[in-house]
């Protein structure tokens, strides 16, 4: 499990999406025994897909070879790496080595490296939820199919974590130390409040506030600077589309947000096809809608996610005037 978590962080580092704490962890990992081999595994796993998107010319690789040797020597003269094996990863390693070289030269011999903050990770598969208490007393209710990365202890200036999926956050107030949640391009910053974040890969990012005040920003691709998406107060929500950059501000009832922690699923004008996507994660099943018209049916309903799925399917059947069949973990609606 720890190795899989490291692989996730390596991919985030290469993509430039790590928090400062995660970057420090990755840089230390690169210099540890076994860390280089783990990088190699990640490269091997991603290479086929990567080379199809970014083919490297022979001249590019030759030029990179010289730069790579130089960068690795800057990190640690006796560092042993299968360098020839890595030349095919030229474009990826350019990003990786540039981020590590300066760190290695300045930090390798520092005694503070060993005492750096350890990163922890919690992952929920579909069908499972959990509650996590952070070192400052903040509590995260992590949803199904979701992943949270956080430091064992927060640093001196900020409290930063990363989320992929959905979670409800109850943040301990500390005006001197902002709490920041990273979700891809978007970051949500608070001082002390409660709110829900939905940030599944390939879907819109949604932030809704129950108490306090929340600032939602995005990191611009060209400059890396933060650009404001919205400032939210209790009952406010924002839906941000990463493909178009469009943000839509709406209203959500506070009862709806807090009820999610207790297993209540509230849907307002949501098509049935989107509702079943949530039920798939919640119950770890596959649901197929064969009636396209039924899939577009707008749902205004609150479901009890603590009840057996069959009971919820009966409610959907009556509400949408459809039929369904359950076969193990596969459900068909028509």
Is residue 279, in this structure, part of any structural domain at all? yes
**Residue 253: what are its φ and ψ, rounded to 5°?**
-75, 140
- Examine the fold and report which residue of 218, 253, 288 is the final residue of a domain before the chain moves on: 253
Flag the least confident range among 35-39, 100-104, 175-179, 269-273.
100-104
Contact 303, 315 (CB under 8 A): yes
Neighbouring residues of 94: CB distance < 8 A, sequence distance ≥ 6: 64, 67
Separation of alpha carbons 112 and 32, rounded Å: 15
Dihedral (CA of 64, 66, 68, 74) sign:
negative
| Domain co-membership, 208 together with 281 | no
| Domain co-membership, 147 together with 230 | yes
Q: What is the CATH number of the domain that holds 182?
A: 2.60.120.1440
| Domain co-membership, 42 together with 167 | no
pLDDT surpasses 50 at 79: no
Q: How would you write 1-63 as a 3-class SS string? A: CHHHHHHHHHHHHHHCCCCHHHHHHHHHHHCCCCHHHHHHHHHHHHHHHHHHHCCCCHHHHHH
Separation of alpha carbons 151 and 118, rounded Å: 6
Buried/exposed 1-37: b ≥16 CB within 10 Å, e otherwise: eeeebbbbbbebbbeebbbebbbbbbbbbbbeeebbe
| Domain co-membership, 246 together with 273 | no
Average pLDDT over every residue of 177-197: 92
Is residue 141, in this structure, part of any structural domain at all? yes
Neighbouring residues of 52: CB distance < 8 A, sequence distance ≥ 6: none
Is residue 100, in this structure, part of any structural domain at all? no
More reliable by pLDDT, 311 or 48: 311
Radius of gyration of the chain (CA): 23
| Domain co-membership, 5 together with 26 | yes
Query: pLDDT category, 60, cuts 50, 70, 90?
Result: very low
More reliable by pLDDT, 36 or 128: 128
Is residue 227, in this structure, part of any structural domain at all? yes
Neighbouring residues of 310: CB distance < 8 A, sequence distance ≥ 6: 326
More reliable by pLDDT, 32 or 305: 305
Query: pLDDT category, 44, cuts 50, 70, 90?
Result: low
| Domain co-membership, 201 together with 314 | no
Is residue 258, in this structure, part of any structural domain at all? no
Average pLDDT over every residue of 53-68: 47
pLDDT surpasses 90 at 37: no
| Domain co-membership, 308 together with 247 | no
Query: pLDDT category, 222, cuts 50, 70, 90?
Result: confident
Average pLDDT over every residue of 199-226: 89
| Domain co-membership, 225 together with 142 | yes
Q: pLDDT > 70: what percent of the chain?
A: 71
Total domains in the chain come to: 3
Flag the least confident range among 82-91, 126-135, 205-214.
82-91
- Examine the fold and report which residue of 253, 284, 308 is the final residue of a domain before the chain moves on: 253
Q: pLDDT > 90: what percent of the chain?
A: 51
Neighbouring residues of 14: CB distance < 8 A, sequence distance ≥ 6: 42, 92, 95, 96
Entry pTM: 0.66
Query: pLDDT category, 74, cuts 50, 70, 90?
Result: very low
Q: What is the CATH number of the domain that holds 307?
A: 3.55.50.30
Residue 117 pLDDT? 66
| Domain co-membership, 233 together with 124 | yes
Separation of alpha carbons 113 and 108, rounded Å: 7
Residue 36 pLDDT? 66
Average pLDDT over every residue of 42-53: 55
Is residue 96, in this structure, part of any structural domain at all? no
Is residue 107, in this structure, part of any structural domain at all? no
| Domain co-membership, 200 together with 275 | no
Residue 138's domain comprises 119-253
Report the chain's terminal Cα–Cα distance, integer Å. 40
Tell me the per-residue pLDDT of 251-296, one tens digit each, with 9 for 90 and over: 998 988 889 988 999 998 899 999 999 999 999 999 999 998 999 9
**In which element (H, E) is residue 104 found?**
helix 90-107
pLDDT surpasses 90 at 11: no
Contact 261, 142 (CB under 8 A): no
Query: pLDDT category, 64, cuts 50, 70, 90?
Result: very low
Is residue 93, in this structure, part of any structural domain at all? no
Query: pLDDT category, 9, cuts 50, 70, 90?
Result: confident
Burial group, residue 64, by CB count within 10 angstroms (0-12, 13-18, 19+): buried
Residue 79 CB-half CA count within 13 A = 23
Token pair in block for residue 110: 């520092």
| Domain co-membership, 231 together with 282 | no
Average pLDDT over every residue of 202-216: 94
| Domain co-membership, 144 together with 192 | yes
């Amino acid at each position: 499990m720890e190795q899989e978590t490291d692989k996730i962080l390596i991919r985030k580092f290469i993509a430039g999406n790590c928090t400062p704490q995660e970057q420090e962890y990755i840089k230390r990992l690169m210099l540890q025994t076994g860390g280089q081999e783990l990088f190699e595994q990640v490269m091997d796993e991603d290479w086929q897909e990567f080379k199809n998107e970014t083919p490297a010319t022979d001249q590019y690789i030759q030029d990179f070879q010289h730069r790579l040797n130089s960068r690795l020597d800057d990190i640690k003269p006796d560092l042993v790496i299968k360098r020839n094996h890595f030349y095919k990863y030229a474009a990826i390693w350019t990003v990786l080595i540039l981020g590590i070289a300066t760190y290695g030269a300045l930090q390798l011999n520092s005694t503070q490296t060993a005492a750096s903050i350890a990163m922890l990770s919690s992952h929920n598969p579909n069908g499972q939820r959990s509650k996590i208490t952070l070192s400052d007393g903040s509590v995260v209710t992590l949803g199904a199919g979701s992943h949270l990365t956080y430091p064992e202890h927060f640093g001196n200036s900020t409290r930063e974590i990363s989320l992929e999926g959905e979670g409800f956050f109850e943040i301990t107030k500390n005006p001197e130390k902002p709490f920041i949640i990273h979700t891809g391009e978007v970051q949500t910053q608070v001082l002390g409040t409660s709110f829900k974040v939905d940030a599944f890969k390939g879907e819109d990012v949604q932030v809704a506030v129950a108490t306090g005040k929340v600032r939602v920003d995005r990191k611009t691709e060209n400059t890396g600077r933060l650009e404001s998406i919205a400032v939210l107060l209790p009952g406010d929500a924002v839906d941000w589309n990463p493909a178009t950059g469009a943000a839509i501000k709406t209203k959500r009832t506070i009862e709806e947000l807090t009820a999610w922690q207790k297993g209540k699923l509230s849907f307002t004008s949501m098509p049935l096809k989107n509702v079943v996507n949530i039920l798939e994660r919640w119950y770890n099943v596959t649901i197929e809608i064969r009636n396209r018209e039924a899939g577009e049916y707008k749902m205004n309903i609150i479901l009890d996610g603590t009840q057996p799925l069959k009971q919820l399917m009966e409610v959907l059947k009556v509400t949408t005037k459809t039929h369904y069949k359950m076969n193990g973990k596969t459900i068909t609606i028509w």
